[in-house]
Amino acid sequence: MQIYIKNCIYAKKIVLLQANYYFFLQNSETMIKKKDSTTPKWRFILCSMIAAAGVLIIGVITLIWGLRNYTQHGIEIVVPDITKMYVEEARIIAATEGLKLSVVDSTYSTKVPLGTIVEQDPVQGSLVKQGRTIYVIQNARFRRPVILPELRDLSLRQAEATIKSLGLNIAEVIYEPSTFKNIILDIHIGDSSLLAGSRLEEGTTLTLIVGKGQGEKEVTIPHIIGKSLDEARSWLLANSLTLGSVEYDIEPTEDTKASYIIYQQSPTSGIVVVEGTSVNIKLSTDMEKSIITTEEVEDEEDFW
């Protein structure tokens, strides 16, 4: 505001100078008329040109000086480093330097604390004019909730791309014997297996269990009749086996899926196979089916 008032004063001075110039010309003309008519006209013209040039030079100098003041030519401020600061703190620092601050985007990063500034533009050390705006990207104040999709039976490459797009991280890839190579067998946090639909926080670190093909070591098929799908998957994985085909006697809904139990498995329990062999299962909500199947298996074992 002060600069604006100063510029108005400069402009007023220029106008006054021009008015004085015209007044001078009129007086000069009157005086010349009063003098002897023999006075040479070139003197009058010369005086007029000198006066005009003087007013023009003064006006240009005043204008340039005023513009330099208004634009603060040659006066630059070093941009401070405001990354890793909270926005409120950064605004105060920017204001003390005669700068402004504007948050243009938000992201999630594990490199800086939640709610602090991740990036700034112009960067630290840049030279700018007073009043310049620093544009910043702020780290999220809270971790975004993420719903884990079904990753089992996807290729390792597909699963990695999906996990990355969700803002999750992969801590480790563990290879286990399996009929299928480079296929996701299970997803863990620590020692706990995760189900599709699990609610996680953005930035959570996962461990992927991936198939590496069948091994050479022999293992015994466990008895998984009467168990749920998730229980069976964990049991098979613990025995270096993989889950094969999954069939339901009646197609379940999302609400009823958890109530289904295994009533048939193939190969049956007790059979010795190589690591990575797949076990196919059938599920039902009818508990009697599992009891009948278990009795049949026991009768076969007693017979042999």
Q: Do 197 and 227 share a domain, yes or no?
A: no
Tokens standing for residue 70: 């208004």
Instruction: Express each pLDDT in 96-131 by its tens digit.
Output: 989 999 999 988 787 888 899 999 999 988 999 888
One DSSP character per residue, 96-131 reads HTT-EEEEEEEE--SSS-TTBEEEEESPTT-EE-TT
CA distances to 220, 223, 229, 278 from 235, in Å: 12, 9, 10, 12
pLDDT at 22 (0 to 100) = 52
162 and 130 within one domain: no
**pLDDT tens by residue, the chain, 304 residues:** 444 455 555 555 555 555 555 555 555 555 555 544 444 566 767 777 777 777 778 777 777 766 665 555 557 889 999 999 999 999 999 999 899 999 999 887 878 888 999 999 999 889 998 889 999 999 988 888 899 999 998 999 999 999 999 989 999 999 988 888 899 999 999 888 898 889 998 889 999 999 988 777 889 999 999 999 989 988 898 888 888 899 999 988 888 888 999 999 999 999 999 888 889 999 999 888 766 655 555 444 443 4
Same domain, 242 and 292: yes
**8 A C-beta contact, residue 6 and residue 66:** yes
Q: Write the single-letter amino acid at 297.
A: V
297 and 278, same structural domain? yes
Q: What is the DSSP string of 129-156?
A: -TTPEEEEEEEPSSPPEEE----TTSBH
pLDDT at position 19: 53
**pLDDT reported for residue 302:** 47
pLDDT at residue 31, as a whole number = 52
**Listed residues 113, 139, 165: the one ending a domain:** 139
Last-in-domain residue among 184, 213, 242 = 213
Same domain, 124 and 66: no
Structural domain ending residue among the three candidates 192, 213, 234: 213
What confidence tens digit (pLDDT) does each residue in 278-300 have? 899 999 998 887 666 555 554 44
Residue 122 in tokens: 């112009």
Q: Tally the domains of the chain.
A: 4
As given in the structure block, the two tokens for residue 12 are: 């007023």
| Residue 261: per-residue pLDDT | 92
Do 66 and 96 sit in the same domain of this protein? no
CA 276 to chain centre: 39
To the question of pTM greater than 0.85 for the whole model, the response is no
pLDDT in tens, 224-244: 999 999 899 888 988 888 888
Please tell me the number of Cα atoms within 13 Å of 272 on its side-chain side.
Answer: 3
Give the CATH number for residue 192: 3.30.10.20
pLDDT at 38: 47
Is residue 286 located within the same domain as residue 258? yes
Q: Do residue 43 and residue 83 come from a single domain?
A: no
Q: What is the pLDDT of residue 301?
A: 47
Per the structure, the complete domain to which residue 103 belongs is given by: 77-139
